[in-house]
Structure 1
Amino acid sequence: MLKYLISASLLLACLISSAQDLKDEETEDKPKPKKEKTVKAKTDSVINALDSSTMYIPTGVRIGTDVISIVKTFTKDEYTEFNITADIDFHKYLFNVELGRMEQSMSTDNDSAAYEVKGSYLKLGPDINFLVKDPDRSALFVGLRYALSSFSDNLSYINNDPTYGVTNGNLENSNITAHWFELTTGLKVQIAKPLWMGYTARFKVRLSNFEEEELMPHTIPGYGLAEDNVTWGFNYWIMFRIPIRKVPVPDYPKK
């Protein structure tokens, strides 16, 4: 009996040893899993770190002018306006500068009065771009502007009085300023490689009053009618973009 038990024990030990050897061989022959996910995670972390350190470095500057002002200059009598606009991007923020010059003359139907205004304006302010991830750097934005205008105007008139007869009068403002804020929204898109087009709609709120001036201005360059405390504006831009740096495209490992 003891002889059979010893034989059975030896046989069981041999079977267990053979099974362990087969398992070890299968483990060695089985290919190791690829580390794609680990490599991709490391790549993502490196790219995110680069993006965080460079995202506020500008990628380009757009420079352009307002098409509507040009059309009005060549189609309206006694009206001239030219302006230039520029923006530069800081991640999702755009900083804008606008400069303009306007001159206008108008008179009554019977030429009994004539009004002239000429001056310059400056507008500064930021936009928030909601298309910051667009590879073409398009912009759908809302923003704020502070605007300042420096101008002079003149009103000359003829007064036909029954008692005193015909008299000439003249009222003028020399180098006065006006201030206002603008809430803006708009769109800028790429049409060709360097060419961009877009628009800006504006809601303007005047801050200045002219109660102490000899002449109540009729028109404020860059703003509109001086009698309006709030008013609207619209520009249609044609622009060119000057790139500053290229934004790197993530290069993930191939599967």
Structure 2
Amino acid sequence: MVIFRTLLYTLFISLFAVSAQAQVKKDTIPAAVKRPSTTSFKSPSAKDTTSPKAKSAKDSATLKAGPLANKIEDSIYLSNGGIRLGLDISRFTLLYFQPYRKDVTVQADVRLGQKIYGAIETGWNSTSHSTDTTYSYKGSGIYSTIGIDYDFMKKKETTEQNMLYAGIRYGFARNTYEVSHFIMTNDYWHTTIEGNYPKTTITAHWIELVFGLRVEAAKNLFLGWGIREKIMLHSSAEDSHPPIVIPGYGSGTKRSQFDMTYTVSYMIPLYKVKVHVPRDGKK
């Protein structure tokens, strides 16, 4: 330990001595050497012989060496904007899984800016369901949704119209339904109850969270899919006799509903949208 401390003290003293010696040398440098004068004076009669062309080149070089040397102006170009009309063909596949219901859905969106799209959807539903002679249900109605989409896709070409988007919708439906007759049996008490539920009109409100993709398969012709989570805000239907299907929403007994769509759409170009794309700051 004694040897270690001795070596440590010796190293510390050596470093201190070197530092002090360097400081002394720095302070003993003559002032004329430390701060050489770079100021030059011209006689009042002397003329500047620099040509305007050389001076312009010098000023340009000075600018390039300044803080704006790496700044490149952003790229701005015009892209097509218009109305895109589409049909949700996934509604027709529901006939295979739920043959008692028919749905037709039409979609439209319009480009409001570089990344923002306004979206609207409207549709119709008809439901007719019966179980032998014990239950008979009929209902029909319409619905509409309105909302906005945000496009996350970075475009590689000025003419590219593909979209990877997320959005939100507000939905409203009006539905009329009735149960013309029903028969309920109780095996324990051996009783049978017959009745009906009169024609009733209800309204429903919900919100949708949307995520999807649209790809331009041909010029102005788009194919797209989307997934949606629908959350019921309010339904005027009675809990004892809810509708089988709420148009545009789904099951009348669920407070939330997951849905998928597949659309074919066509865009009608009507105007141009200014698109601003920051370039890379590197040369």
Using the size of structure 1 for normalisation, the TM-score is 0.69
Give the partner amino acid of 2:246. I
Change (3 A) 1:28 1:137: closer
Aligned: 1:178 with 2:204: yes
Aligned: 1:100 with 2:126: no
Give the partner amino acid of 1:94. Y
Give the partner amino acid of 1:125. G
Give the Å deviation of 1:131. 2.3
After TM superposition, the runs of 4+ consecutive aligned structure 1 residues lying more than 6 A away are: 160-163
2:90 aligned partner: 68
Structure 1 unaligned regions, length at least 5 = 1-22, 251-255
2:20 aligned partner: none
1:159-185 deviation per Cα after TM superposition (whole angstroms, max 9, x unaligned): 56999x977521035221001011100
Structure 2 unaligned regions, length at least 5 = 1-48, 65-71, 277-283
Larger radius of gyration between Structure 1 and Structure 2: 2
Aligned: 1:235 with 2:261: yes
Give the Å deviation of 1:77. 3.6
Instruction: State which of 217, 220, 226 in structure 1 corresponds to 2:246.
Output: 220
2:144 aligned partner: 122
Change (3 A) 1:215 1:44: same
**Aligned length in residues:** 212
Give the Å deviation of 1:227. 1.4
Give the Å deviation of 1:64. 0.6
Instruction: State which of 177, 182, 190 in structure 2 corresponds to 1:153.
Output: 177
1:10 aligned partner: none
Give the partner amino acid of 1:127. D
| Distance (whole Å) between structure 2 residues aligned to residue 106 and residue 79 of structure 1 | 8
| Structure 1 SS opposite 2:93 | helix
Give the Å deviation of 1:133. 3.7
Give the partner amino acid of 1:68. S
| Structure 2 SS opposite 1:196 | strand
- The answer (yes or no) to whether the contact 2:202–2:237 under 8 Å persists in 1 is no
Give the Å deviation of 1:210. 4.3
Relative contact order, higher structure (CA 8 A, sep 6+): 2
1:90 aligned partner: 112
| Structure 2 SS opposite 1:70 | helix
Using the size of structure 2 for normalisation, the TM-score is 0.62
Give RMSD over aligned pairs.
3.9
